[in-house]
Structure 1
Amino acid sequence: MNKYLKPGLAMMIFASLSLAAKAQEVDVITFEKGVQQPAVQLFDVRTAKEFNAGHLAGALQADYTDKKEFAHRVQYLDKQKPVYIYCLSGGRSAAAAKWMRENGFSKVVEMEGGILAWKQAGKALEGGAKPEEQLSVAGFRQAIQKGLVLVDVGAPWCPPCRKMEPVLQEFLQAHQQVRLVKVDGGNDQQVMQSIRAHTLPTFVFYEDGKETGRKEGVISLQELEGMMK
């Protein structure tokens, strides 16, 4: 390093170079191999509509253009584990990856060219088929009519929902008298509106059809159990 640089300026340049060194953009083939590694978190930063039209298998989703949604969901990713990120063509994922690196994520790998490049390489996507039939409000009401019921409003591509899954399973094993009813947060919009569920995940307890407790977001096993009282 030039000995005539002032110490403060030298440190700033070093920090900038270190940050730049962490930036990594790879082609489709390299990206595909990378996501097969253990502990990799695959992250789609397009809109929910784009995601539902076709996405990489196993991807989590948060709309980077929706700052509130992105900030809420990204906090449930593990900063110490690799994140492989993509969007439609690379612009949004580059911006999201830059933000993530600046906020403590140790390794963020971008897919060069995004979904467009993935399709051009002849790679398969999940989704994109005809949407599943929505759970009807009447069907939902019938499902919660008798006994203790826990309603889980979530989706497999939602980071906080996935984080809650082991807690939910532990709860159900300990309380086998409780039935679980799942509401698909990406599909069952009419039911979500009828029970005023606006956040993923949302947990609602019912006893004989009457709501007795409600919590939103990532909660503890103790909080779930407290909703029963």
Structure 2
Amino acid sequence: MRIQTIITICGMVFFLHACQAQQKNLIDAQQFEQGIGSGKDIQILDVRTPGEFNSGHISQALMANWNDPKEFNRRVSFMDKDKPVYVYCLSGGRSRAAAEKLKADGFKEVYELKGGIMAWKSAQKKVEGASDKPGMTVEQFNGAITSHKIVLVDVGANWCPPCKKMEPVVKKLQEKYGDRFLLLNVDGGKDEEVLQHYRIQELPVFMVMQNGQPTWRRDGIASFEELEKALFP
């Protein structure tokens, strides 16, 4: 009986400790703002859909759609497990599940915005990204790829973790080759007409155009050497 009582007490203590830890990492809009503005090397993760994200999001947020498990897992695989992650959704349901998944996957510090972006807006905190500006048309795209002999098309988005990982690679190419090629950025969250025309279903995507014609394509990340060889075979 005494052993059973001890086991029961230990179980209760463990449960209470787990609840306290969860409550500690569930923070309000003010605490969330302080955390992401602390100057530390942090990551902000929006787990809503692309449509929700494009209606307005917290500055510097990455996006991984919780409703699409394959996309979510692929994008968070490019994030740093040793850096704090501040996660949010619309009202708190998806971010709670996502936070648990991140912790189970080995992320050391995960903080969740209580009440989601609805609470953030209610606290009169700033969002960015909401725009009525039309996306790039296929006609505009075709005009751009014929304006230079060699064009590297970079289809990505600021909120896409693997796209962010590719930024220094693309920058290195620009620094080495200068105006020998044109870099054409396509917004993977807004330029829907171009995305549909080229059947782009994941980000990033890189395409090389020579004299207006496609000569190479990579769906996903690529090394510096692969891009260099595709541009200058």
Q: Same fold (TM over 0.5)?
A: yes
Contact preservation (8 Å) 1:22, 1:107 = no
Give the equivalent residue in structure 1 for 2:207. Answer: 204
Deviation at 1:41, TM superposition (A): 0.3
Task: Give 5+ residue unaligned stretches, structure 1.
Answer: none
Cα distance in 1 between the residues matched to 2:95 and 2:115: 10
The AA in structure 1 aligned to 2:137 is S
What's the counterpart of residue 178 of structure 1?
181
Alpha-carbon deviation of 1:129? Answer: 3.3
Q: Which amino acid aligns with 2:153?
A: V
For residue 217 of structure 2, what is the aligned residue in structure 1?
214
- The answer to which of 159-168 and 18-27 deviates more is 18-27
Q: Percent identity?
A: 43
Q: Shift of the alpha carbon at 1:208?
A: 0.4
Root mean square deviation of aligned Cα: 2.4
For 1:62-110, what per-residue CA distance to the aligned partner results, in whole angstroms no more than 9, with x for missing partners? 1101111111111111100000000111110010000000011010000
Structure 2 gaps of 5+ residues are none
Change (3 A) 1:173 1:16: farther
Deviation of residue 194 (structure 1)?
A: 1.9
- Farther-moved stretch of structure 1 (195-204 vs 75-84): 195-204
Structure 2: distance between partners of 1:102 and 1:211: 42
Q: One-letter code of the match for 2:63?
A: Q
Q: TM-score, normalised by structure 2?
A: 0.88
Q: Bigger CA drift: 99-108 or 189-198?
A: 189-198
Q: 1:186 to 1:12 in 2, by over 3 A?
A: same
Q: Which whole-Å CA distance do the structure 2 matches of 1:197 and 1:15 have between them? A: 47
Query: Does structure 2 retain, via aligned residues, the 8 Å contact 1:205–1:213?
Result: yes
Closer/same/farther in 2, CA of residues 220 and 22 from structure 1, 3 Å limit: farther
Of residues 178, 197, 206, the one that matches 1:194 is 197
Give the letter for the 1:195 counterpart: Y
Q: Which has the higher helix share?
A: 2
Question: What secondary structure sits across from 2:37 in the alignment?
Answer: coil
CA distance in 1, matches of 2:100, 2:15: 12
Write the letter of the residue equivalent to 2:26: E
In structure 2, the residue matched to 1:164 is 166
Shift of residue 19 of structure 1? Answer: 6.6
Pairing 1:14-93 to 2, within 5 Å after superposition:
23=22, 24-37=25-38, 38-93=40-95
The 3 A distance-change label for structure 1 pair 12 and 106 is farther
Call closer, same or farther: CA 1:151–1:16 in 2, change over 3 Å: farther
Q: 1:216 to 1:122 in 2, by over 3 A?
A: same
Number of aligned residue pairs? 224
1:212 alignment partner AA: T
Moved over 4 A (4+): 11-22
- 1:115 matched to 2:90? The reply is no
Q: Secondary structure at the match of 1:150?
A: strand
**In 2, Cα distance between the equivalents of 1:46 and 1:169?**
29
User: Greater shift after overlay, 103-112 or 196-205?
Assistant: 196-205
